[in-house]
Amino acid sequence: MRVLVTEPLPGKGIDLLSNRYEVTVGQRGEFDRESRLLETIGSYDALLSCLSNPVSRKVLEAGQNLRIVSNFAVGYNNIDVEAAKELGILVANTPDVLTEATADCAFALLLGVARRLRDAESQLRNGGFDGWHPFGFLGTELYGKRVGIIGMGRIGRAFARRARGFSMQIYYHNRNRLDPQDEQQLDAQYTSSIDELIESSDILSLHCPLTPDTKHLINRDRLSRMKSGAIIINTARGPVIDEPALASALHEKQIGGAGLDVYEKEPEVHPDLLTAPNCLLLPHIGSATTETRSRMSALAASSIISHLSGKPDHAIPALVFQRSKPE
């Protein structure tokens, strides 16, 4: 059997596959174009893809032997999941393993924005540090602040645990309310209205998946109703925020700051965000620890091995539980 891995990966994932199958590993960015996937995928039984790879309906249809797409990510908006389901191709992802790393990144963004670390460090590096003074880069404390979390899945809950350590007031909105025991452990209070949560929060942290309902969830109108000093953090998916509207809100000082690790048209970043005040921007590094990326690699490979070996689908962290073509 043949497996296409779209680019080199950390950890032992590729070795796990190479011990069993004929494996092709692409170059960085080689399969970021649909056309390249289309001309290649036809002879492969499995695809280990990355978020930057457009696994469209055309690509899936061209994969005449394709039985599984294992995405090196928790998200899967780069894959046409409905087309995969129709074609009987299993789609797997890598949940759980990047929860703590991504929550760390989100909280790092929050601390950086709250204490204006980017501006302070930039001035120091540019020779502008002339000693301590009373008004030097005044930020805001997190202690006791009200944080609103949209999306209380694994990463949202991990972020809430960190916020609890800073004695923050935790409120959240989720498609399904948590069990009372989970709410008690997190000291989190449910808010049924997204608008109420947005309007009342000092910090808003986004951890929801990208769906038609969440695209531009944070838009110009909702930004205008946030507190004047509010901070927004996004480590979910870029299109959850209307980027031009966010940039305007920052430039016009409608809100206090923003920390982003994801963008609507990656790797592009809206130019007005690049010049926005108190806006900390990271290049999608939420899961970028050696430990996490190695676990992701192994999990993505293991899903392929399990499926091609005919093991039960419930053993695979899959999005579409539909059996693929029989051996």
**Is the omega angle on the peptide bond into residue 267 within 30 degrees of 0, that is, cis?**
yes
Tokens representing 85 are: 């389901």
- Into which CATH architecture does domain 99-281 fall? 3-Layer(aba) Sandwich (3.40)
Ordered alpha helix ranges (H), the chain = 13-18, 34-40, 57-62, 81-87, 99-114, 117-125, 154-165, 180-186, 194-200, 220-224, 243-251, 271-274, 290-308
Question: Looking at 237, 270, 293, 295, which residue is catalytic?
Answer: 237
Residue entry with tokens 């899936």 = 60
**Cα separations in angstroms, 42 against 39, 51, 295:** 7, 20, 28
Question: Looking at 30, 183, 199, 266, which residue is catalytic?
Answer: 266
Which CATH superfamily groups domain 2-96+290-315? NAD(P)-binding Rossmann-like Domain (3.40.50.720)
Q: Which residues is 3 bridged to in the sheet?
A: 23, 46
Euclidean distance between CA atoms 220 and 243, whole angstroms = 9
Question: Looking at 36, 177, 216, 284, which residue is catalytic?
Answer: 284
Tokens representing 166 are: 């800073």
CA 171 to mean position of chain CA atoms:
21
Indicate the helix (H) or strand (E) that contains 231.
strand 231-234
Instruction: For the chain, give every domain's residue range.
Output: 2-96+290-315, 99-281
Local mean pLDDT, 10-residue blocks, the chain (327 residues): 97 97 97 97 98 97 97 91 94 92 98 97 95 94 98 97 98 97 97 98 96 96 97 97 98 98 95 97 96 96 95 69 39
Same CATH topology for 2-96+290-315 and 99-281? yes
Euclidean distance between CA atoms 59 and 39, whole angstroms = 9
Q: Residue 73, Cβ neighbours under 10 Å: how many?
A: 20
237 tagged catalytic? yes
Could you please report the per-residue DSSP string of 107-122?
HHHHHHHHTTHHHHHH
Give the contacts of 108 (CB within 8 A, at least 6 positions apart): none
Check residue 13 and give left, alpha or beta (phi > 0: left; psi -120 to 50: alpha).
alpha
